Amino acid sequence: MRVVSMLTMARAAWLVLRYTVVVPLLQLAIYLCAAMSLMLFAERLYMGLVVTVLWLNRRCRNHNQRNKGDDDNLKSDDADRPMVLVQIPMFNEEQVYRVSIGAACGLWWPADKLVIQVLDDSTDTGIRSLVEAECRRWAGKGVHIRYENRSNRSGYKAGALREGLKKQYVKDCEFVAVLDADFQPNGDFLQHTVPVLQADPAVALVQARWRFVNADECILTRMQEMSLDYHFSVEQEVGSACHGFFSFNGTAGVWRVHALADAGGWKDRTTVEDMDLAVRASMRGWRFVYADDVQVRSQLPSSFKAYRYQQHRWSCGPANLMRKMFWEIVANRQVSAWKKLHVLYAFFLVRKVVAHLVTFMLYCVVIPAYALVGGQDVRLPQYVPMYVSAVLTLLNAACTPRSCHLLVFWIPFENVMSMHRSKATIIGLLEASRANEWVVTEKLGGFTTSTPAAATTTMAKKTKKKKKKKKSSSSFLAPEIVMGLFLLYCALYDMVFGHDHLYVYLLMQSAAAFVIGFGYVGSQ
């Protein structure tokens, strides 16, 4: 009798908790997710329509100019070329330093109008020696290349770029190109970008597109390609065409030195120093141009550990920057209210905050909770998890047609990653611990290069040792495994007691969480 009485009391207590706390909170979360989903849907639909119009205009323009020469910029007199500085920031880039320096030194530009600056913050003395020797080798061929090494890493990449611009030998440079160590531009990179800056003194930045040389390395790189193709094909295109503003990608871009100085130069107050500079320059009235037809070869992180660190930085930094610049943007009087609204609402709030939070809340918390608590007590509008999501997914997939068949993997993978991105976003908004954590993304040297045998042997030996250490010290990812267990429980519960067949999605999502949690994503 006592056991029955206790069970009855427990059930009564649960019913009280269910109807006074759980159900109202879950319904509120559903309405909140619906509102955020519609915000994201409206923004994506608007950008999709703009890109369609741009594509049609481009086709008409290309048709009308088919028989006209468009290589005037390539045939300019060398005497008219401005002084250009190329900055290559590095940190222990053993695998890629040679190809990056070689690509920069191979740019088609008058030798007396080009300065290559290798900003090496390496802490490994052996790597420093290799990079310095490579610079001396190119200097011996007549290239104006300078090797710079700091005694400390103050400010990380932003600090290195800032210090590089202070050197006396760059005072005459009118433009500066930034190329990360894993980026390899074509020889005509400057010939396609610098003339755009020369033609319009109001343009501060020309950003080129990234082309991924290792996209086919594993399924992790294929999924990254899908996300980044959307960023370049849609977000950057729309920002450039409609607002003259988009986020500088930190590399593969050419800046007007005067505009960079006018915006306050490089700052290291967040982990997205490139975005910080872009927003400040935009608020000073400068315009940006995105050159989709200029592509620079680059690498994608192929290990999940490197990818996680990168995504933490890319999610935490923008949220932290929004916190720091919100009132500064609101009070700005140099740009229109329309541009300020675009930067604060579309660029920061919707793309950098809402996109991460709604994905995690809806697909990893609300839908599983609905499977447990739902029924007649909670209403989940079908357009939220199905129709809106389907349109968003199709808009993203349209940018990478060759990977459409991978959507079945991409969707649950992005949902699992939203947990890390949401956590990083909240850390950035609150400026909590890890808000300023900077971890350099590991590069594995995926370029086709002719590295000398001695250097290759040394690299191979060190890479083997590193791999052995990584394998012996590898560990499971507890957050993903816990998420997988929770989703699996919700799926089984819905399979037995539910009526909406949510278990089909929940089983797939739990499997994705387990695959990632047990380390079966990325290069092994």
Give the residue numbers annotated as catalytic, written as ranges.
121, 274
Q: Of 291, 252, 200, which is closest to residue 89 (Cα–Cα)?
A: 252
Distances (CA, A) of 335 to 206, 323, 342, 421: 20, 20, 11, 31
Looking at this protein, which amino acid is placed at residue 457? T
Contact 84, 174 (CB under 8 A): yes
DSSP letters, 187-252, are TTHHHHHHHHHHH-TTEEEEEEEEEETTTTSSHHHHHHHHHHHHIIIIIIHHIIIIIS-----SSS
What tokens appear for 90 in the block? Answer: 């590095």
Dihedral sign (CA 245, 246, 247, 251): negative
Instruction: Return the H-helix or E-strand segment holding 407.
Output: helix 407-430
Residue 408's CB is within 10 A of a number of other CB atoms, namely 11
Burial label, 15 (beta-carbon count in 10 A; 0-12, 13-18, 19+): exposed
Residue 256 DSSP label: E
| Sheet order of strands, 114-120 included | 145-149, 114-120, 84-90, 175-178, 253-256, 203-212, 287-298
Q: What is the distance between the alpha carbons of residues 30 and 36, in angstroms, rounded to a whole number?
A: 10
Q: What is the distance between the alpha carbons of residues 370 and 22, in angstroms, rounded to a whole number?
A: 10
Q: What is the distance between the alpha carbons of residues 40 and 494, in angstroms, rounded to a whole number?
A: 28
Residue 364's CB is within 10 A of a number of other CB atoms, namely 20
Q: Where are the beta strands (DSSP E) in 408-490?
A: none
Max Cα separation, the chain? 100
Contact 502, 494 (CB under 8 A): yes
Q: What is the distance between the alpha carbons of residues 15 and 17, in angstroms, rounded to a whole number?
A: 5
Q: What is the distance between the alpha carbons of residues 254 and 291, in angstroms, rounded to a whole number?
A: 11
Contacts of residue 222, Cβ cutoff 8 Å, sequence gap at least 6: 215, 216, 403, 406
> What values do phi and psi take at 289, rounded to 5?
-125, 130
